Amino acid sequence: MIAAQRVTRQIVSGHSSTLPSLPAPKATDVVAALSAAERGAVEELINKLFREIRNARPAWRQAWGSKEALESAKVTWVLALVEGQVRDWDRQIEHGLRRLRAEPSDFVPSPGKFVEWCRPTPESLGLPPTERAYQEACRNAHPSARGDARWSHPVIYHAAIDVGLDVLMQLSGVDTWKLFDRSYSVMVRRAMDGQALGDGVPLGLGHDSQKSLAKLAEEHSQQFALRVRETQGIPQDGAAARAALLEKMRIKREVV
């Protein structure tokens, strides 16, 4: 009991503001694997969350009209949070609660909707929307602009580098938009989680001028080839590529 209270106190006070991170294929397995101390901490967290929801949504009794319904809902919400990778109170759940309080509704949202609210958007981090970030990346990716490029935020720079500056210039707008949209989302999540965005931000958030031209050309060439293959659905693995080619040619090979 004392151990459970200690874990709970750490989570709620912010010393360790995460639900236990236990890798498992199913949420039910994660919950089943919790120790007694971790179960106590999770119970305290979910009770705190439900108090916040009831304070913000006066019509909560329409969703949880009895004690049994309330307790059953808590189990469902724990599973939804685990499945949605929402484990951090300060960075994720508080973000979701802000959205909850801002929404003009008296009713309790679904667990899936709340999990969606816990995920950051570019705007919530003071970043431009994806469309504007994409325009900045394409503008700065132009060969004539790279030397003097100025990036408004490291997240946009790293998303552009992840896609590849040459890729942004040489593929079609439809393809580069898909690639950048994915990379930007990843970088936004990393920023929200306090993770490193990438290897070293170049001088002045400009471009990696510290590298030799030969090294830059080699990296850009390799990255461009990988991105083209990925966009066109070409397997990256040699064996997979061979299998796809044989399939296309309708040639069967038995595995020895």
What does the pLDDT look like over 2-46, one tens digit per residue? 443 343 333 333 334 444 444 444 767 777 777 888 888 888 999
Q: Which amino acid is at 22?
A: L
Token pair for 118: 């816990």
Model pTM? 0.53
**Higher-scoring residue by pLDDT: 213, 115:** 115
pLDDT at 247: 60
Q: Which of 183, 189, 198, 4 is nearest to 85 (CA)?
A: 189
**Which H or E run contains 35?**
none
- Average pLDDT of span 57-84: 93
- Average pLDDT of span 224-244: 52
pLDDT at 122: 77
Phi, psi dihedrals of residue 18, rounded to the nearest 5°: -130, 145
**Which H or E run contains 102?**
helix 94-102
- pLDDT confidence of 141, banded at 50, 70, 90? very high
Residue 196 gets the label, from left (phi > 0), alpha (psi -120 to 50) or beta, of beta
pLDDT tens, position by position, 169-195: 988 888 899 999 988 988 887 887 667
Taking a C-beta distance cutoff of 8 angstroms, is the pair 224, 170 a contact?
A: yes
Within a 10 A sphere around the Cβ of 253, how many other Cβ atoms? 9
* Cα radius of gyration rounded to whole Å, the chain: 24
**Higher-scoring residue by pLDDT: 106, 237:** 106
Give the percent of the chain with pLDDT over 90. 34
pLDDT at 102: 93
Domain locations along the chain: 2-119, 126-243
Q: Give the separation between CA 110 and CA 107, rounded to whole angstroms.
A: 9
Cα within 13 Å of Cα(204), Cβ side? 9
- pLDDT confidence of 147, banded at 50, 70, 90? confident
Residue 164 gets the label, from left (phi > 0), alpha (psi -120 to 50) or beta, of left
Q: Give the separation between CA 255 and CA 180, rounded to whole angstroms.
A: 38
Calculate ∠ Cα 126-163-158, nearest 5°.
40
- Average pLDDT of span 101-114: 95
- pLDDT confidence of 92, banded at 50, 70, 90? confident
Looking at beta carbons, which pairs linking 56-59 to residues 24 or more positions away fall under 8 Å?
A: 56/97, 56/100, 56/101, 57/100, 57/105, 57/106, 57/107, 57/108, 58/106, 59/106, 59/107, 59/108
**Mean per-residue pLDDT of the chain:** 75
Within a 10 A sphere around the Cβ of 223, how many other Cβ atoms? 17
Q: Give the separation between CA 2 and CA 71, rounded to whole angstroms.
A: 24
SS3 at position 166? helix
Give the percent of the chain with pLDDT over 70. 66
